[in-house]
Amino acid sequence: MKEIKELFPFLAVPKKIVVTMHQKPDPDAMGSALGLYHYLKLKGHDVKVISPTNWADFLKWMPGCETVFDFESQRSMCIEIMNQAEIFFCLDFNHFSRTRFMESILKDLSCIKVLIDHHREPQTEVFDYGVSDIAKSSTAEMVYDFIVDNEGKSLINKDIAENLYAGVMSDTGSFRFSSTTASVHLMVAELKGFGFEHAKIHTALFDNFMENRLRFIGHVLSHRMEVLYEYNTAIIAIPKADILKYHIRTGDTEGLVNYPLSIKGIEMAALLIDRDEERKWSFRSKETFDCNSFARKYFQGGGHYNAAGGRSSDSVEENVIQFKKALKEFLSKQQPI
């Protein structure tokens, strides 16, 4: 993978460009993709954004979101667009498997593939150009750097600013995680100059759910959370019946994994959701528990040090047993948390 600045000469003339992100995009995946989309369009390129799957309703206000293609429901059109691409940007993921059913097509494309991402252990051999930096707060921040380095700062507008703000705000836990450097605040100060109302973005992302979601959270915290004080860990395992009973949809479980971390002494939280196609794990930690290594070693996943995800095809009950066994083994080999 060559340095991303070596790509800049290719962007001097209009190109057919596709931007994609990880499946079930979160605000950083969607915000960085749409921020880049608006920028590249202003530079005169023909740009399309394709999401590997559908996305949560709370992302639908994001400027440009209405133009995003859904690979799962618009498969043949997406394949046609992908086949015409000259440059393919991959944002907020670093392994093709994170694009789900797009993977088999993506890996055979002969166009230029570009990575912009902040997760651990990138698959650098599959990208032609890129930047991978685990110290970065968010992919949105990296897209901002990309725009500035590409001498495009004068093209930043309100649409770009809102998308990048949503991404960085979300991935930094509203600017509380240690990844929130001085440069993040300086960037946000610059973006604020474009006149968007940040309070409205917080409301759109966090205070925009249906009553059923809050009742669902109450239910799972009361009945599905187990606190393992001896391991400073809490686990929430949600069976399919709960998902159906409370009419839970894509995005409704976003942030749920963080709740147990508010318990004094709890350093690691795990959330297991029984999805149609798989059992999906989310892991979060406060300090010295390496979620990325844990997810990679035991649950076919990965991510960041303090936030990672994984999956399994086994049942919820089997997963809980495997988790406890894995935790015990992992902690006995790691520094104590």
Binding site for ligand 5GP (CB under 6 A): 22, 95, 98, 282, 301-304, 307-311
Report the residue from 92, 162, 274, 290 that binds Mn ion according to the rule CB under 5 A.
92
b/e code 188-198 from CB counts within 10 Å (16+ = b)? beebeeeebee
Helix (H) or strand (E) holding 68: none
Judged by CB under 5 A, the stretch of 88-96, 153-161, 185-193, 211-219 that binds Mn ion is 88-96
CB of residue 51 to ligand 5GP, shortest distance in Å? 14
- Residue closer to ligand 5GP (CB basis): 95 or 224: 95
Is residue 28 near Mn ion by the rule CB under 5 A? yes
* Binding partner of 95, given Mn ion, ligand 5GP, none, CB within 5-8 angstroms per partner class: ligand 5GP
- Alpha carbons 99 and 66: distance in angstroms, whole number: 20
CB of residue 269 to ligand 5GP, shortest distance in Å? 10
- Residue closer to Mn ion (CB basis): 162 or 171: 171
CB of residue 192 to ligand 5GP, shortest distance in Å? 25
Judged by CB under 5 A, the stretch of 9-17, 164-172, 292-300, 312-320 that binds Mn ion is 164-172
Judged by CB under 5 A, the stretch of 11-19, 91-99, 217-225, 230-238 that binds Mn ion is 91-99
- Alpha carbons 35 and 145: distance in angstroms, whole number: 12
CB of residue 300 to ligand 5GP, shortest distance in Å? 6
Give the 3-state secondary structure of residue 132. strand
- Residue closer to ligand 5GP (CB basis): 150 or 170: 170
Judged by CB under 5 A, the stretch of 83-91, 136-144, 190-198, 259-267 that binds Mn ion is 136-144
Which CA distances in Å does 177 have to 120, 181, 324?
17, 9, 27
DSSP string, 206-272: HS---HHHHHHHHHHHHHSEEEEGGGTEEEEEE-HHHHHHTT--TTTTTTGGGGGGGSTT--EEEEE
Judged by CB under 5 A, the stretch of 37-45, 166-174, 203-211, 236-244 that binds Mn ion is 166-174
Helix (H) or strand (E) holding 98: none
Q: Which residue is nearest to ligand 5GP (CB)?
A: 309
68, exposed or middle or buried, with CB in 10 Å at 0-12, 13-18, 19+? buried
- Residue closer to Mn ion (CB basis): 179 or 233: 179
- Alpha carbons 96 and 93: distance in angstroms, whole number: 8
Contact 307, 254 (CB under 8 A): no
51, exposed or middle or buried, with CB in 10 Å at 0-12, 13-18, 19+? buried
- Alpha carbons 200 and 216: distance in angstroms, whole number: 25
- Residue closer to ligand 5GP (CB basis): 85 or 307: 307
Report the residue from 141, 159, 162, 171 that binds Mn ion according to the rule CB under 5 A.
171
Residue ranges binding Mn ion (CB under 5 A): 28, 92, 139, 171
